[in-house]
Structure 1
């Protein structure tokens, strides 16, 4: 699918395609699970109720309506509806998800990778093809969110949410609203800047600052952009993922790059925070639901994915986590402050310059991984010049002490 399809569709499809959905939904017979969750009565939700199945679900942190802060506990409702138990755990980056699965240390039934990681895992045989007869609610996903290069036939993935990256900043600590990714290199904010703690997102920001695509085209390009990340290190307070919530909400940093949906959550907690899409362009991403090829409960996992696509469940999730919905029936039901949010549903000025991560060739991916590791280890060990200075200082002190002792000995001899 060409990117232009999304840029046009996101602007119009939410209103036009979703406008008729509530009326159609009202005619469908539903089953009430609780006061907030109702699901289609035409689906056999209880067919595994007597099978003592436990699904291992692995999702991003803070990425589902979990019952906290008066939200709906959608996992608990699923267990009540189906009789299936859910072992729900979380990860903080696509790379940690991949490493955990690649190591073979755990077996999962449903995972939530982002676009490029879907493509990588599919290429490596780590994902199972989906049986869409078991996922009829897939029909409710907007066409504009389907058919991307990472999974052109949607063989392995069902969109869960989508969003963009941008800059979240504290208006009490930043003189003027930033408009460029270059603000993250500004020395006036030294030790007051947070940075992504994963290679693709961090690389994308530095690449955009330099005028490159966020998808590297060569090993040499990776080296150039990674050097820019090294140049940033003197102003970075910490490399973070989920830790960003406490730091930004608590006023511990001036600015940070992060995902738009999470920015909305942080702004709700701290009204001094604001969000902007930098002028150079941003990452547009689709996070999807997939089933690993070694899942022990594939049909039950497909039932879970179908449940997550039910409009009432999608509404509960998007209303709580703030991310943008690919389910056409959900957008119309969102509160107006979210439905018309320029953060959650940005306009053409943002989307026309947005890029999607692609699955990288092995050579470039290996270079990105090694260069990122080198940059991080350099940061953790301190600056090389500082080590030299400290060693030199230690030698000077040592020589001074030796000289002082010799001088004292000479005086004593006289």
Structure 2
């Protein structure tokens, strides 16, 4: 959903696919069946140095394959024929995978470091009791603005994006749930509404936004904003962090009426084979020093509160990415909707895109 696809990582596992498909793991480079971990992750969503560190510490070789959407990952796992040991679904997708019996429950007796995670990031609606998932990163949806062209007071609310002065100036992340969601919030509705009237009203309002929309794009949004090609964008907090690191005129804000709070999570798909490696990796990533290193590399917010304390003060104190409780209270987590409602969200969003 949120990161650049790393083709190289995909090629590595594809090349090995035949061997894994027959459970005959390659013996080259000293690998054996018990010394491999197959990680199915978003692109560029773990510090490569941590992969090297884990391999050196444990002797387990990590094969990485990447995906670029929750839905693509779900389909691959559902189809079977893969030996993924760990994958990284977002909140609502954890719920969908649970319902489809695609996940194995965590063996809590084999986990260390659970106490490092903050209570605010555990026991969420999509996985009560964290029976199937460990939180990996969290973040928000918000507005990125360039202070050369936009004043902070002009982007405190979602509704301000409809201001006619922003004609052909707004970049939107290409995500049906997020763009429909911000519009629903601007109308005082839930991001999980299944009410037809509310959904149709959101589409109509989105169509009125079309004149202000310069482009609806995916990862390219980071380049456009960093290069100053647009003054405004709607995107996720971690993407905003990356843009801001390249352009000091960029800032990120979560509108006062609230937004989406999303969670990405480590889970064990039913295809898993290498359980010793799995729990070594989960415990490795739960260690505060490793989680802190990963958070600095990725730019998203860590749910590991012990790791948070190790981050530089400049990151810990940055309210754009670690907002206070007043903001967090107004954030909404996506729920897994029925297939019919997911299709309705997608169809209404496509109608908006046709007007752009």
Task: Pick the TM interval, shorter chain.
Answer: 0.7 to 0.9
C-alpha separation between the residues in 1 aligned to 2:213 and 2:82?
34
Post-superposition Cα deviations, 1:13-39, rounded to whole Å, max 9, x if no partner, equal: xxxxxxxxxxxxxxxxxxxxxxxxxxx
Whether 1:250 and 2:232 are equivalent positions in the alignment is: no
Q: Secondary structure at the match of 2:259?
A: coil
Q: Which residue of 1 aligns with 2:120?
A: 144
C-alpha separation between the residues in 1 aligned to 2:174 and 2:74?
15
Q: Which has the larger radius of gyration?
A: 1
Q: Which residue of 1 aligns with 2:239?
A: 262
Give yes or no for contact 2:156–2:253 (8 Å, CA) kept in 1: yes
Give 5+ residue unaligned stretches, structure 1: 1-47, 67-72, 384-414
Whether 1:62 and 2:44 are equivalent positions in the alignment is: yes
Q: Secondary structure at the match of 2:193?
A: coil
Change (3 A) 1:367 1:103: farther
Change (3 A) 1:190 1:338: same
C-alpha separation between the residues in 1 aligned to 2:304 and 2:31?
27
Q: Which residue of 1 aligns with 2:7?
A: none
C-alpha separation between the residues in 2 aligned to 1:334 and 1:304?
21
Deviation at 1:349, TM superposition (A): 3.0
Change (3 A) 1:232 1:97: farther
Q: Which residue of 2 aligns with 1:33?
A: none
C-alpha separation between the residues in 2 aligned to 1:186 and 1:100?
42
Q: Secondary structure at the match of 2:37?
A: strand
C-alpha separation between the residues in 1 aligned to 2:329 and 2:255?
13
C-alpha separation between the residues in 2 aligned to 1:313 and 1:357?
28
Q: Which residue of 1 aligns with 2:51?
A: 75
C-alpha separation between the residues in 1 aligned to 2:271 and 2:296?
32
Report how many aligned residue pairs link the two structures.
326
Deviation at 1:130, TM superposition (A): 1.4
C-alpha separation between the residues in 1 aligned to 2:178 and 2:287?
30
Q: Secondary structure at the match of 2:265?
A: strand
Change (3 A) 1:243 1:135: farther
Deviation at 1:106, TM superposition (A): 5.2
Which shifted more, 211-220 or 149-158? 211-220
C-alpha separation between the residues in 1 aligned to 2:257 and 2:83?
40
Give yes or no for contact 1:59–1:90 (8 Å, CA) kept in 2: yes
Post-superposition Cα deviations, 1:349-406, rounded to whole Å, max 9, x if no partner, equal: 3122111112223432232233334444x25xxx7xxxxxxxxxxxxxxxxxxxxxxx
Change (3 A) 1:258 1:297: same
Give 5+ residue unaligned stretches, structure 2: 1-29
Deviation at 1:309, TM superposition (A): 0.9
Which shifted more, 260-269 or 118-127? 260-269
Q: Which residue of 2 aligns with 1:20?
A: none
C-alpha separation between the residues in 2 aligned to 1:190 and 1:298?
54
Whether 1:172 and 2:148 are equivalent positions in the alignment is: yes
> Structure 2 matches for 1:181-196, cutoff 5 A?
181-196=158-173
C-alpha RMSD of matched pairs (Å): 2.4
Post-superposition Cα deviations, 1:216-267, rounded to whole Å, max 9, x if no partner, equal: 1323332322333333233222223322221111112111122223322321
C-alpha separation between the residues in 2 aligned to 1:139 and 1:86?
26
C-alpha separation between the residues in 2 aligned to 1:227 and 1:265?
32
Whether 1:97 and 2:73 are equivalent positions in the alignment is: yes
Change (3 A) 1:106 1:132: same
Give yes or no for contact 1:116–1:359 (8 Å, CA) kept in 2: yes
C-alpha separation between the residues in 1 aligned to 2:204 and 2:81?
34
Whether 1:132 and 2:108 are equivalent positions in the alignment is: yes
Change (3 A) 1:134 1:164: same
C-alpha separation between the residues in 2 aligned to 1:215 and 1:309?
31
Query: TM-score by structure 2 length?
Result: 0.83
Deviation at 1:339, TM superposition (A): 0.9
Give yes or no for contact 1:93–1:198 (8 Å, CA) kept in 2: no
C-alpha separation between the residues in 2 aligned to 1:175 and 1:144?
32
Deviation at 1:195, TM superposition (A): 1.0
Q: Which residue of 2 aligns with 1:204?
A: 181
Q: Which of 332, 347, 360 lines up with 2:337 in the alignment?
A: 360
Q: Secondary structure at the match of 1:118?
A: helix
C-alpha separation between the residues in 2 aligned to 1:348 and 1:239?
31
Q: Which of 320, 341, 345 lines up with 2:322 in the alignment?
A: 345
